Amino acid sequence: MALPKIKPEFDVDAYMAWEETQPERHEYLGGEVFAMSGGTDAHYTILLNTAARLKSALGGKPCRAFVSGMKLRIERADAVFYPDVFVTCDARDRQPEASLAKQWPSLIVEVLSDSTAALDRGRKFELYQQIDTLQEYLLIEQDRTHADLFRKNSEGLWVLHPATPGSVIRLESVGAELELEGLYEDVEL
């Protein structure tokens, strides 16, 4: 009879130290680590287009855009994720102790794939909502020209603003506008 595998558990500080020594990226949730898989050409092209357009739109503002290599720590959820793109405008994320992980984003962007769409729309969104500074969550599909922007309203409810071909996505949290088609530049659907 085979013995069950023992699942290693970490606290967040042990995970952060361990993760810095790993050749692959891992996300952390409640003491467990999960290996991250790679993406498609379309995924990374959309990610790059989005990050480049955000960086350009944020010029002269106290906000910074980060791509999937930067960790986002959600202290309330005991979680650390690697969002595809996120923007933080909070001075606390510019401090030296925030060099490996940010905690106060205004905007998070995920590029959806068949394998991650349910998680990004469900559990991750639920956990991201525990971030007080988060105002918008943008989900971009990679197999058709469509995005869903969720924006937190004054009552604290998340309202859906879908974007279809010809749409301009107004990101109020960071004062930027993105043409949906521009996010798909060089992507063959």
154-163 pLDDT, tens digit per residue, is 999 999 999 9
Between the alpha carbon of residue 147 and those of residues 96, 121, 131, 182, the distances in Å are: 34, 12, 22, 12
Tell me which architecture the domain covering 39-184 has in CATH.
Alpha-Beta Complex (3.90)
Assigned token pair, 188 = 């063959």
The domain spans of the chain are: 39-184
For the chain, give the percent of residues with pLDDT over 90.
85
Which CA distances in Å does 153 have to 68, 81, 99, 158?
Answer: 27, 24, 30, 6
90: number of Cβ within 10 Å: 18
What CA–CA distance (Å, rounded) separates 61 from 72?
21
Cβ(82)–Cβ(69) below 8 Å: yes
pLDDT in 10s for each residue of the chain, 189 residues = 444 444 556 799 999 999 999 999 999 999 989 988 888 999 999 999 999 999 999 999 999 999 999 999 999 999 999 999 999 999 999 999 999 999 999 999 999 998 889 999 999 999 999 999 999 999 999 999 999 999 999 999 999 999 999 999 999 999 999 999 999 999 998
**Helix residue ranges per DSSP H, the chain:** 12-19, 41-57, 117-121, 123-128
